[in-house]
Amino acid sequence: MPENQPKFQIDTRPEIIDLPSMADRTVIDVRYSLLKPYASAHIFWNKEMNELVYHVEEPELTPAEHEVLRLILLALEEMINISYSNASKMNMVITYLEKNVQAILIELGTKVSVETYLKLMYYIFRNSVGLNRIEPLLHDYYIEDIECNGLNFPIYIVHRKYENLKTNIIYTNPQESTDFVEKLAQKTGRYVSYAKPLLDGTLPDGSRVNATYSSDITTRGPTFTIRKFTKDPLTPIHLIRSRTAPAEVFAYLWIAIEHKKNIIVVGETASGKTTFLNAILSFIPSEARICSIEDTRELNLAHENWLPSVTRTGFGIPDLQGKEYGEISLFDLLRESFRQNPDYVIVGEIRGKEAFVLFQGMASGHPSFGTFHAGSVETLVRRLETPPINLSPSLIESLDIVCVMSHLKETDKNIRRMKELVEITGKQKEIGKVEQNMPFEWDPVHDRIVSKSYPTVFQKISKESGQEIDKLNKELQVRTMLLNKIAETQISDFKEINEIIKGYYVNKVKVLRSFGLI
């Protein structure tokens, strides 16, 4: 152990920089910090592979340093029995680690330089507190997905700017790979084994995990996919700035949500369904009671009167209905939620028989939101009406609004847009089709969302609440101006934006005056 021992420090805050355009990928060569000052990302054009690649750069260890690190990690396994999942106590955990590491070095009779000590502490932190070799990737603001396809194959990441990139991280040791999947299970609070080899869960930072434990399921060996979510979720203001949808669309949805209309967000995988749904939930009045039901926790609301529920896997031999002992499904949670006096019900992803209960709730006056895998309203209706859901056409009419999301990936662009907003206006014309109105539609040629027709939802609201349609139109204009004004400012904090929306319900004049709109 070196004299005048420096304190190990690491900056886990993501670095956000202006990345160069990918119009010409062959000239891209950029670095930015991941775990400062130890780990960084290097994105560059690899001439041998003829593709853009992503390398994690970390301190190099000599063979002797590798051996010392191995001995320290073995000793730590015997000495430490604490949870590292609470990031708010990071400084305390690092201090505790350092004391143990220094004690181990003394016991081993090993003296190391300051440089070696700090390198060792980085790897001990990474492997003990973090998720081993992929820990730096979790701190990259620009990464959306981390994908491991098995042994001896490089991990791929989905980058916000540069899409799918091959990394320099490869798992070659079967034991290391299975140990890592077990660690993922521990972090998510779930169970995985050869008898139950599929893992679905949520990491402490909110990232979603799907993993397989053995080669019986995935022939290349254990695999995992991590869908990252930002610590503070995106708000309507963020989506306006990124041009996912304009302020007028969010002002319209704000009015619809305030008047308890039923909304489903549909789209293909990774089209931004959950992000969009989470953003518009900011418009729910602060006093309203929300009950949400999810398989894995993804929603993140700035709402105190919110009861979030997640499913639970069972164990043992399934019964005649295919249900394991102790299993709590989406159907079970949704059925119970209607007994909890909710003002709004949210289902993270509608997939099976829970759709029947959800649409029954819509028909009986419980405003409900959810996401669904479908590329259009027609696909949504067909999937709802056919097995395994088999929903009655009369229940589908309870749905008011469908937002269709799309993800456009081309060589020079990687964007998410609301493709269309559709109102369900009447009874079914034929199988798979309902009467509909489309107030907003995306024009891909000019990359803008245009108004197509007058919103019929305002007529419903007028009949139910007695408000004049002219007043609703005026409110749409005012809220559009407010959202545009906020988007023009430097305000980006999740809580601050939600406080503005909350303040609008309490004192509309005060909020409008603060932004110079009256």
Q: What CATH number is attached to the domain comprising 53? A: 3.30.450.380
Residue 370 scores a pLDDT above 60: yes
pLDDT, residue 432, reads 64
Residue 414 scores a pLDDT above 60: yes
Q: How confident is the model at residue 394 (pLDDT cuts 50, 70, 90)?
A: confident
| CA 255/CA 480 separation, integer angstroms | 11
The answer to whether residues 303 and 324 belong to one domain is: yes
Residue 88 scores a pLDDT above 80: no
| CA 176/CA 72 separation, integer angstroms | 17
pLDDT, residue 185, reads 94
Domain-located, residue 8: yes
Residue 411 scores a pLDDT above 80: no
The answer to whether residues 135 and 148 belong to one domain is: no
The answer to whether residues 119 and 188 belong to one domain is: no
Query: What is the average pLDDT score of the chain?
Result: 90
Domain-located, residue 517: no
Which of 231-240, 475-484, 506-515 shows the lowest mean pLDDT across its residues?
231-240
Residue among 172, 169, 175 at smallest CA distance from 147: 169
User: Does 220 or 312 have the greater pLDDT score?
Assistant: 220
> How many independent structural domains does the chain possess?
3
pLDDT, residue 468, reads 95
The answer to whether residues 307 and 411 belong to one domain is: yes
pLDDT, residue 412, reads 65
Domain-located, residue 498: no
The answer to whether residues 293 and 399 belong to one domain is: yes
Domain-located, residue 55: yes
pLDDT, residue 4, reads 52
Residue among 162, 214, 197 at smallest CA distance from 51: 162
For residue 399, what is the domain's CATH number? 3.40.50.300
Query: Quick one: tokens of 512?
Result: 């409008």
The answer to whether residues 135 and 147 belong to one domain is: no
CB atoms within 10 A of CB 518: 11
Q: Tell me the pLDDT tens digit for each residue of 423-451.
A: 999 866 666 678 999 999 999 999 999 99
Domain boundary among 141, 157, 186: 141
pLDDT, residue 89, reads 67
The answer to whether residues 248 and 217 belong to one domain is: no
| CA 284/CA 292 separation, integer angstroms | 13
DSSP 430-441: ETTEEEEEEEEE
Domain-located, residue 335: yes
Backbone angles phi, psi at 378, to 5 degrees: -60, -45
Residue 322 scores a pLDDT above 70: no
Domain boundary among 196, 231, 266: 231
Cβ pair 416, 244 in contact under 8 A: yes
Domain-located, residue 321: yes
Average confidence (pLDDT) over 391-395: 87
Backbone angles phi, psi at 388, to 5 degrees: -90, 5
DSSP 8-class letter at 11: B
Average confidence (pLDDT) over 268-291: 95
Instruction: Using a pLDDT cut of 70, give the percent of the chain over it.
Output: 94
Average confidence (pLDDT) over 490-500: 93
Residue 86 scores a pLDDT above 70: no
The answer to whether residues 150 and 88 belong to one domain is: no
Q: Tell me the pLDDT tens digit for each residue of 9-18.
A: 999 988 889 8
DSSP 265-328: EEESTTSSHHHHHHHHGGGS-TTS-EEEEESS-------SSEEEEE-B--BSS--TTSPPBT-B
Average confidence (pLDDT) over 332-361: 90
Residue 87 scores a pLDDT above 50: no
Q: Which residues pair with 440 in a beta bridge?
A: 421, 451
Residue 334 scores a pLDDT above 60: yes
pLDDT, residue 502, reads 96
Structural domain of 83: 1-141
Residue among 255, 284, 236 at smallest CA distance from 457: 255
Residue among 115, 137, 125 at smallest CA distance from 65: 115
pLDDT, residue 83, reads 47
For residue 229, count CB atoms less than 10 angstroms from its CB and return exposed for 0-12, middle for 13-18, buried for 19 or more: buried
pLDDT, residue 445, reads 92
pTM for the complete prediction? 0.82
Q: What angle do CA 449, 454, 458 make, to 5 degrees?
A: 115
The answer to whether residues 101 and 219 belong to one domain is: no
pLDDT, residue 353, reads 83
Which three-class secondary structure state does DSSP give residue 210? Answer: strand
Average confidence (pLDDT) over 237-242: 96
Residue 319 scores a pLDDT above 80: no
pLDDT, residue 6, reads 61
Average confidence (pLDDT) over 187-194: 89
The answer to whether residues 187 and 307 belong to one domain is: no
Domain-located, residue 508: no
Q: Tell me the pLDDT tens digit for each residue of 51-61.
A: 999 999 999 99
Q: Which residue type, as a one-letter code, is found at position 323?
A: K
Residue 121 scores a pLDDT above 90: yes
The CA-based dihedral angle spanning residues 320, 326, 327, 332, taken in that order and rounded to the nearest 10 degrees: 100
The answer to whether residues 262 and 401 belong to one domain is: yes
Cβ pair 381, 394 in contact under 8 A: no
Residue 178 scores a pLDDT above 50: yes
Domain boundary among 111, 141, 171: 141
Residue 231 scores a pLDDT above 60: yes
Q: Which residue carries 């007529």 as its tokens?
A: 459
Domain-located, residue 516: no
The answer to whether residues 242 and 217 belong to one domain is: no
Residue among 51, 28, 31, 53 at smallest CA distance from 42: 31
Counting Cα atoms < 13 Å in the Cβ hemisphere of 367 gives: 18
pLDDT, residue 505, reads 96
Residue 504 scores a pLDDT above 70: yes
Q: Beta strand 29-35 with 413-430: parallel, antiparallel or unpaired? A: unpaired
Average confidence (pLDDT) over 78-104: 72
Average confidence (pLDDT) over 29-52: 96
Number of H helices, E strands in the chain: 16, 18
Burial annotation 296-329 (CB, 10 A radius, 16+ → b, else e): bbbbbbbbebbebbbbebeeeeeeeeeeeeebeb
